[in-house]
Structure 1
């Protein structure tokens, strides 16, 4: 017959290590999940979005908005934001964009053909892109 004490059945195993293991601490060089998440949310919230009106104007006026142009617009918006701008016009070679900086929204777009007869009002800054 098998002795249950040899198998460790029926008695607590005396060989268990009951000492608590040390808690891992995050060094100053490691980022916490919250810090990484907050940074991502901050970056995403600063990315420009297009209003419905701007999307309609871009489509109507045949303005080509590619990834390079959006990168330029986002970069210009970041600079304007750092300078305290609120409502700006970004003027490029093919189009101009009116942007509300606090809300990170492209409000409208004007093609280069229409720029010469257009007046932009309620703008506190202009950026050439």
Structure 2
């Protein structure tokens, strides 16, 4: 058997009939999401508030309840801070202080009322109190 490369050999395309080509194109179009769908998904992901590992740890260790109602209030508070041009904000929801990076849409830490004795919050540029 000859294992040498053969140079100057034409590469012949694989010929498919039109029906096969059309069915492949239709499958690709139906399987791949449109640009509009991808963009909408990315925008929705960006709007969702995320919690850092540190914040999750604090919420668990301090047994801070985070219900849908509180989460909605927190999201509203972050939106209010964003609309005022805040970058790092203290958002108070039901006697729980959340430090939020507004730019990254991320909760950095959470402090409940029992743990707030003599606490000083630094590196924030705004505070939002939600009722």
Tell me the TM-score normalised to structure 1 length.
Answer: 0.68
- Does the aligned pair in 2 maintain the 1:46–1:78 contact within 8 Å? no
Residue deviations 1:16-67 (CA, integer Å, cap 9, x gap): xxxxxxxxxxxxxxxxx64454344223202110000000000111100111
1:100 aligns with 2:101: yes
Return closer, same or farther for 1:88/1:50 CA change in 2, 3 Å cut-off.
Answer: same
Match of 2:4 in 1: none
Alignment RMSD: 1.5
Return closer, same or farther for 1:72/1:124 CA change in 2, 3 Å cut-off.
Answer: same
More helix by share: 2
Provide structure 1 residue ranges, at least 5 long, that are not aligned to the other structure.
1-32
Larger radius of gyration: 1
1:87 aligns with 2:88: yes
Structure 2 CA distance for aligned equivalents of residues 52 and 76 of structure 1: 21
Count matched residues: 97
Structure 2 CA distance for aligned equivalents of residues 104 and 39 of structure 1: 17
Structure 2 CA distance for aligned equivalents of residues 99 and 128 of structure 1: 13
Shift of 1:79: 1.6
Runs of 4+ in 1 over 6 A off after TM superposition: none
Structure 1 CA distance for aligned equivalents of residues 45 and 82 of structure 2: 15
